[in-house]
Amino acid sequence: MQAFDGKKAAQDYMSTNSMSYSTPELILNRFAFWLGDTVTNPDNKSEPTSRVMTYMTREVVEPPVVEDVYVPSGAVLNSLASHKVEDAPKFCPECGMKLSAKAKFCHQCGITQ
């Protein structure tokens, strides 16, 4: 199987072309055109080929091993702690009576929360 050696192509491009006063979009656009240029084939000098074909290698490329295991850490780990967070006490703004956290109105003065 043939694989494209993008790292070597990018290093060759950056070593021969100036990156000054360029945006990332312009650099990528120029790199794509540079890869598409017609050059002489290193194996057969009389036959022209695309530059991208000179960076093709015959290596066996195995897909990376991806482990689909999620291990929580940091803030996520702290939020999953086993202790229960108690609701803060709720007070009526009108009369100051202590109310339950789910109260919709004050039982003493009747004002809605």
List, for residues 55-90, the tens digit of each pLDDT value: 888 877 677 788 888 777 776 666 666 555 566 778
- pLDDT tens-digit series, residues 10-39: 899 988 888 777 888 888 899 999 999 999
Residue-wise DSSP of 44-107 = -TTSEEEHHHHTEE----PPPP--------HHHHHHT-SSPPPPPPEE-TTT--EE-TT-SB-T
Tens digit of each residue's pLDDT (9 = 90 or more) over 81-109: 655 556 677 888 888 888 888 888 888 88
pLDDT of residue 34: 92
Mean residue pLDDT of the chain comes to 82
